[in-house]
Structure 1
Amino acid sequence: MRKLLIVLLALCAGSSYGQSVVKGTVKDQENNLVPGVSVMLGKGKNTITNGSGQFILNDLQPGKYTIRFTFVGYEPSSRIIDLKAGETRVVDIMLTSSAEQLQSVEITGRKESGYKNTNSFIGTKTATALKDVPQSISYVTKEMMADLQVMRIGEAVKYMSGVNQFSSYDDFTIRGFRTQNNSSVQLLNGLRTITGFWKQPLTNYLERVEVIKGPAAALFGNSSPGGVINRVTKKPLKDHRQSLSFTTGSYNTFRTLADFTGPLNDSKTLLYRMNLGYENSQSFRDLQFDKNFIVAPSISFIPNDKTQVNFDMVYNRSMSRLDRGQAVFDNNDIYSTSISKSINAVNDYLNEDNLMITTSLTHKFSDKVQFNIAYLKTAWEEDLLEHRSANTYAKDSAGNNIPTLVEMQVFDRNRRVFSDNISTYFNFDVNTGAVSHKLLVGYDFAQSKTPWGGSQLTARGYRNSTNTGAGTYNAALPGQFMYETVNGVKRPVPNVPHVDLTAVSPYQLYDMSKYFYTKTAYDPALSASHGLYVQDQIKLGKFQALLGLRYDAYRDWLNYEKPTEEVVKQDAIIPRLGLVYSVTKDINVYATYSKGYNPQTSVSMTNPDAGGPFDPINSNLIEVGAKGDFFKDRLSATVSVYRIQQENMLINAQESGKPDLLREIDIESKGVELDIKGQITADWYIIMAYAYNDIPIKASERAPEVGRQSFGAPKHQGSFWTKYSFSSGVLRGIGIGAGGNFVTERFMSLNVNQVLPAYQLVNAAVYYRIDKFQIQFNLNNVMNKTHWVGGYDYLRLFPGAPRNWLTSVAYTF
C-alpha cells in the first residue's frame, strides 16, 4: 500500500510539473495597451486581455498550439508555439489596425490613440484606409487636442494644411474658399448639421475633427469647393474607461470635463459613453466672456455581429456676449487701438441653445451585403442683444467721418432654426474574377427650416429734428436732424451713442428705452435637397479606382407659407473619379477629379435689390498626390497638388446706396499641401502641416481686384507640434511639447486696401504623469505676438490672444 501511494504521488507530481503557462501583453501600432482582445487557444482555453492589455492561460499540456488574437478594428494575428513541459511562455503581440474589420458607420469607439488616425468614413462612406482614399483628408485627433488643451474648432484646424480662420466665428477658409456654417454644409458624423454662426463648436465630446479637401458634393450634396469639416463624436467602448479633468488659466478660465464609457451589461451588448463639460472664462477682450454647459451621451446596442444600433446626443447651452471685433481709427493704422478694446455695452448678451440628436442602424444581411441608415435632428436657438458698429464711423454736420468715433447700432433678436438629415445606403462586396468591388448605393434627404416667430428690433442712425425717430444722416438736408456740439465739433445726434475709441473707460449700461427702433420679422423659410448616389471602389492588384455619381435636387421655398409661395428648383449631376496605385506596401499615389455646386438661395436669386437671378455656384477639382505610412505604420504623410475652379460666386458689390447689391466673380485656386502625423518612436509624437495656396480673382467688375489674392486666404500657412515623453530613467513620467503656426498676410473682404499682417506663434507645454494622474501646463503665444486671426475690415478685426497659460489636472480610472 505504501509503495502504491508513492507511485501515485510521483505521477501527480509529474503531471503538475508537465503543465505549462502562456501569458503576454497585447499592444497596438502606437505602443498602447489594448484591453478586451480575444485570445483563443482552443476549446475551453480562451480568454481576453485585461485593462492593462495582459492575458494568461494556465494549466496547459505540453504540445504545439496556434494562438489567435482578434479584436474589432484590428487585423487578426496568430502565433504558433511549441510548449515544453512546465514552461511559462511569454507571447507579446502588436495588432495592426484594419479598415476591413470596422463597420461602415462609426458605432463603437475608435481603438487607436495618439496623433495618427488610420481609417475614415468621410471620404467614401465606407471603412477605408486613409491612404486608399484618392483625395486629401486632414484631421486632428482627440489626443492631440488634449495635449494642446484646445476647446474650439478654430484652435484645432490651424494644425491642418490649407485651413484657417476667416473670422473668430464658425467661419473658415479651406484652400482659399470661405466655408461659413450659415451658408455651407458642415457635418457631424458624416451627416449635415447646423451650429449657428457666432460660436465655434466645442471639442471635448469629439473623437477627431477632419476635413475632406475639395468639393465633396458627390457624397454630401451642395458644399464649399474648398472642403467640408466633419466632427466625429466619441463613441462607446467595450472596456471601462473614466476620466476627469480640471483646468484653470489666464483670463479667469475655469473648466471641468468628464468622460465615462464602458458596457452596461455582462454580455457587452449594450455600451454607453457620457461626456460632460462646464466652462466659465473671461477674455483678453474687454467685456467678453464664455459660459458653456455640454452634455453628450451616446448609447450603442450590439445584440450580435450583424446588427448595431447607436444613439447620440449633444446639447450645448452657451451664454456670452457677441464680439463684433476690434475697431481702429479711420487712418488705416491697425495698431491705433488696443486689441483688448471692444465696442460692446455692459447690458449685451448672447444666449444660444444647440441640440443635435442622432440615431443610426447598421445591419449585415451577409458578409457581402450591409445596410446603413442614420438620422440627425438639429435645433438651434438664438437670444441676442448687442451694441455693435454700424460698419462706419460717426459723422459731423458736413457728413465727414470723425476718425475716433464709431457709429453704433443695436440688435435685439430672437430666432430658431431646425434641420433634418436622413442618410441611408447599401454596401455590396462583389468579386468579378480578379477584380473586387465595394459598391455603395444610397439616398439622402436634408432639410433646413426657420419657423414663424423670429424677429428683430433695430436701433440705428441719427435723430430727426422733432426727436420722434431716426434715420440715415444726409448732410444735404440739415434741417431734418438734431445737432449737438462736442469739443467744438457740430455733429448730428445719434440714435445710439457713439463709441469713443480714445476713451479710457467707455463701457457702461445704456438706457435702451430712449432708442428709436424699427421692427423686422424673420419670415419662415424652408429649403431641402434630395440626393441619389452610387459609388464603386474597384481593386485589381496594385490598382484601385473610385467611381461616383450623384443626382442632387435642391428646392427652396420663396415666400414660404404665404399666398405667393413659390418653389425654386435647382438640379445637378455630380461626378467623381479617383485612381490609386500602390507603389509599395506603404506608399500610394493617387489622382482625382470631382465636381461641386452650391445653389444660390431664393433670396439672392429673386431679390430685385440683389441684382439677380443668379446661376448656381459651379466648381471642379483636379488633384494628384501621394500618401505613405512609415516607422512601422506609426507615422503617416500626405502630399497633394490641386487646382479648384469656381464660377458665379456672389459677393457684395459695395456700391453706395445699394447695400443688397451682389456681384459674381470667378476664382481659381491652385496649391500644394503637406500633412505629417503620428509617432517617430513610441514616446515621440509629431505633427506638421504646410500649405501654399494661390487663389487670384480671375474676373471682377472692380479692376483693382483682378489678379489679387482672394480675400481671407493666406498664400502660405503652416504649423508644427511635437511631444516627447520620458518612459525611463530619472525623468520618467515627464513630457515636453513645443510647436506653433504661421500665416502670411491676407486681404480684407470688405476693403481692398486693407491687409491683415502675417504672424508667427510659438507654443509650449510640460506634462507629468504618475500612475493615473497627469498634470499639464500649456503656454500659448510664448513670444506674446500681436496678431489677428481674421477680419472683414478695420472696423471688424478679430485679434488673437496674447501670451496666455492653462494648467490642468486629469485623473483616469
Structure 2
Amino acid sequence: MTQKPLSPLFCLLCAALPASLPVIASSEPVQSSSQGPQDFDLPSQTLGEALKAFSRQTRLQLFYDAELVAGRVSPALHGSFTPSAALQKILENSGIRYRLENGNTLILEKAATKPDQPQSANTLPSVNVVGQAVHLDATDPYNEDYVLPNATSGTKTDTPIMETPMNVQVISKQVLKDQQVINLGQALKNVSGVTTGSFAYGTGNANVANQQITLRGFASETFFRNGFRLQQGSAQREMANVESVEVLKGSAAILYGLVEPGGMVNVVTKQPLATPYYSASQQFGSYDLYRTVLDATGPLTQDDTLLYRTIFSYENSNSFRDLVFNDSVFFAPSLKWNISPKTQAMLELEYQHKKFGADTAAVPAINGQLLNIPNSRNYGEYSPGQTDTIFVGMNWSHQFNDDWSIKHRISANLNDSFIPVNSYPIFNLADPATLALFQSFALGPITPNSVPRLSYINQKNNNDTYSTNLDLVGHFDTLGLNHTLLFGGDYYRLDSSSSSQTDIGSFFSWYGGGPEPSNIDAFNPLHPGRNYPPTVDPTSYYKTVTNTDQYGLYVQDQIKLPYNFHVMGGIRYQYIHQRPS
C-alpha cells in the first residue's frame, strides 16, 4: 500500500515543537505533585526565574512555551505550601494554568477564556479597569526601563523612590546603553545641577588623574561605589560594569558621614545572574575612539549555588586636544555564593590600568580679551601618565525572617597615579602689560609673544581606602504606623600621599640674568618649545602623607503614615582622626 506523504505544514510543526517547549528538568528522580507541604521563600521576580526556582525545590518537571512567560512577573511566595498550591500562587493573575500528566509532569498553557455572556441590546455591563505598572527586575539584562522605581542611596534600604523623602535620581542601564556612555561625566549630564571637571581647571577632561564633581554648587572628588566611599578616581570610573548611577541631591551625612552638602553620586555595579547571559559590544567614535566590552554571567553549578560574572573592556582614543590620548584596560570578575535562600555572599574584584596624556588647558588673554585660538591648541607638552586602580570587596547578607535582615561589607580600593613631567602655562608675555612688567625686573632674555611654563616632574599620587560597614534592617508596626528601622556602623581608613618636583629654580635664575625657562610661542606654538625638557630644581621636592580614620554609628527610621505620607529621621555619631605630615 502506498503511504501518503506528510504535508509540509505538519512537518514544519513537528520540527518547531521541541524549540517552543523548553524543559526545566530536575537532576533527581521526579516526584508526584501531591507531595506534602514545603517551605518556600521566593521573592517577586520574573516568572521564568520563579518557575526555575520552583522546579529546583520541588523536583518537578515543567514544560512551557518561553513566550508564554516572557515579560511576566511573579508575586513573592513565603510560607508553607504544597507544590500545587505554590504553583497556583506563582501563576496567580498571569492568565496561565497548568495540567498534570503521567503523575509527575506539569504542562503550562494559556488559560481558556470564558465565553461572553448574553448582553442586552440596549445596555452594556459596567467595566472597572485597574492599571498597575509592571517593573521588571532592574538587574535583568533585557530590562529596557528608563525609569527605575527603587534606589538605595537615600535610605540604604531598597525603598521606592516615591516613598523616599529625598531628591534621588537614577540613571538606568538602558539610558547608559542608548547614549553609549563611556565615562561617569557623560552619565551625569542626565542630571540637572551636576557638572564634572578636572581638579585644577574644570575642563571636564577625563584624561586627568583627579576629577571633581560639582553638585548643587559644592565641589568634591568623592563618589560612591555600591555605597562604598571613594576619594579619588571618578575621572577614570569605567562604565563597563555599571548597572545604574544614583544621584542624591541634598544632605546625606547621616548615612555616609563626611559628604558635601550638595549631595552624592553612587555607582551601582552589575551582579552575577542565575540566567546565563553573554554579550560583546564594539564602539567607534570621533578622534580614533574604539572600545570593546565583553560581559559573561551565569551559574557555575546546576543548582545555582555559585554564580559568576566577568566583564572586560578595552578603550583607546585620541582627543580634540593636541598631545592628549587615552588607553585603558579594565577587568572585573565577581563570584556569588547562594549559601541558602536566605543567606548570600559575594566576592568581587576590579582592576584598571589606564594610560593618558595629561592636559592642562590654558587660553592666553591680551588686553583683557581671550585670544581666539583653535580648540585643539595645547600650550603644554606631551605628558604621558598612568593610573592603576585595584578594588577588592567581600559582602554577605542574611534574612532572619520576613522582617529582619543583616548585611556586612568589607572593601579596599588602591589607586596610584604617576606623571613623569607635565607643563603648566603660568604667564602670557603676548600681553603688552605682562611683557612690560617682566621687562621691568627680569634680567635674563625675554622672548615677546611667549608663554612661559612651570613644569612638575615625577608627580606621584597614592590614595588607598579601606572600609567595613554593617547594617541591620527591620520592619515593624506601632500604633498603625509602618516602620523601617536601620541600625548601622562604618569605619574608613584613608591613606593618601603625593610627591613631585618642579623647575621653579629656572625662573629665579631667569630673574637674575640666566636663560629663559621653558616657553612656547602664543601665536605659532611649535612643540616641544624652547628650553625643553625642563631642568629639575632639587630643592623643590616635596611630599605629603595623610592618614585618616573615620568611625560612624547611625540610626534611621522610615515611617509610613496614613494617606501616603512618609517621614524619615535619623542620627549619626562621627569621629574623625587625621594625621597629616
Q: TM-score range by the shorter chain?
A: 0.7 to 0.9
Q: Relative contact order (alpha carbons < 8 A, sep ≥ 6): 1 or 2 greater?
A: 1
Secondary structure of the residue aligned to 2:426 is strand
Aligned counterpart, 1:536:
557
1:264-343 matches, within 5 Å, as 264-334=300-370, 336-343=372-379
Distance across 2 between alignment mates of 1:448 and 1:49: 54
Instruction: Give how far 1:142 is off.
Output: 2.0
Equivalent AA in structure 2 for residue 407 of structure 1: P
Equivalent AA in structure 1 for residue 336 of structure 2: S
Equivalent AA in structure 1 for residue 313 of structure 2: G
Match of 1:427 among 473, 487, 490: 473
Q: Normalising by structure 1, what TM-score? A: 0.54
Higher helix share: 2
Check the 8 A contact 2:397/2:406 in 1, yes or no. yes
Secondary structure of the residue aligned to 1:392 is coil
Closer, same or farther in 2 for the Cα pair 1:392/1:316, shift >3 Å?
Answer: same
Closer, same or farther in 2 for the Cα pair 1:89/1:250, shift >3 Å?
Answer: same
Closer, same or farther in 2 for the Cα pair 1:131/1:94, shift >3 Å?
Answer: closer
Secondary structure of the residue aligned to 2:409 is strand
Instruction: Give how far 1:81 is off.
Output: 6.7
1:711-750 matches, within 5 Å, as none
Aligned counterpart, 2:513:
481
Closer, same or farther in 2 for the Cα pair 1:534/1:110, shift >3 Å?
Answer: farther
Equivalent AA in structure 2 for residue 175 of structure 1: R
Aligned counterpart, 1:171:
212
State whether structure 2 residue 455 is matched by structure 1 residue 410.
yes
1:475-514 matches, within 5 Å, as 480-482=512-514, 493-495=515-517, 497-503=518-524, 505-507=526-528, 511-512=532-533, 514=535
Higher strand share: 1
State whether structure 2 residue 390 is matched by structure 1 residue 360.
no
Distance across 2 between alignment mates of 1:78 and 1:432: 32
Equivalent AA in structure 2 for residue 524 of structure 1: V
1:65-464 matches, within 5 Å, as 68=88, 77-79=92-94, 89-90=109-110, 96-97=134-135, 112-166=143-197, 167=202, 168-169=204-205, 170-178=211-219, 180-181=220-221, 185-196=222-233, 199-334=235-370, 336-346=372-382, 348-394=383-429, 395=435, 396-398=438-440, 404-412=449-457, 413-450=459-496, 454-460=498-504, 462-463=506-507
Check the 8 A contact 1:67/1:80 in 2, yes or no. no
Number of residue pairs the alignment of both structures matches: 480
Q: Deviations over 1:762-800 (max 9, x none)?
A: xxxxxxxxxxxxxxxxxxxxxxxxxxxxxxxxxxxxxxx
Distance across 2 between alignment mates of 1:85 and 1:428: 41
Distance across 2 between alignment mates of 1:141 and 1:156: 10
Q: Any gaps of 5 or more consecutive residues in structure 2?
A: 1-19, 23-44, 71-83, 102-106, 113-130, 206-210, 430-434
Equivalent AA in structure 2 for residue 295 of structure 1: F
1:756-767 matches, within 5 Å, as none
Distance across 2 between alignment mates of 1:173 and 1:375: 28
Equivalent AA in structure 1 for residue 153 of structure 2: I
Check the 8 A contact 2:425/2:453 in 1, yes or no. yes
Closer, same or farther in 2 for the Cα pair 1:528/1:245, shift >3 Å?
Answer: same
Q: Any gaps of 5 or more consecutive residues in structure 1?
A: 1-21, 25-31, 56-63, 71-75, 465-469, 474-479, 483-492, 560-813
Instruction: Give how far 1:404 is off.
Output: 4.2
Distance across 2 between alignment mates of 1:445 and 1:352: 26
Distance across 2 between alignment mates of 1:340 and 1:294: 28
Aligned counterpart, 2:124:
none
Q: Deviations over 1:531-556 (max 9, x none)?
A: 11001111233232211111111111
Instruction: Give how far 1:280 is off.
Output: 1.0
Equivalent AA in structure 2 for residue 392 of structure 1: F
Distance across 2 between alignment mates of 1:52 and 1:517: 72
Closer, same or farther in 2 for the Cα pair 1:351/1:50, shift >3 Å?
Answer: farther
Check the 8 A contact 1:286/1:341 in 2, yes or no. yes
Equivalent AA in structure 2 for residue 116 of structure 1: V
Check the 8 A contact 1:36/1:53 in 2, yes or no. no
Percent identical residues? 24
Closer, same or farther in 2 for the Cα pair 1:262/1:416, shift >3 Å?
Answer: same
Secondary structure of the residue aligned to 1:303 is strand
Secondary structure of the residue aligned to 1:151 is coil
Distance across 2 between alignment mates of 1:143 and 1:291: 26
Equivalent AA in structure 2 for residue 426 of structure 1: L
Q: Deviations over 1:469-501 (max 9, x none)?
A: x37x4xxxxxx223xxxxxxxxxx333x21222
Secondary structure of the residue aligned to 2:283 is strand
Closer, same or farther in 2 for the Cα pair 1:328/1:91, shift >3 Å?
Answer: farther
State whether structure 2 residue 49 is matched by structure 1 residue 36.
yes
Instruction: Give how far 1:222 is off.
Output: 1.0
Distance across 2 between alignment mates of 1:50 and 1:264: 25
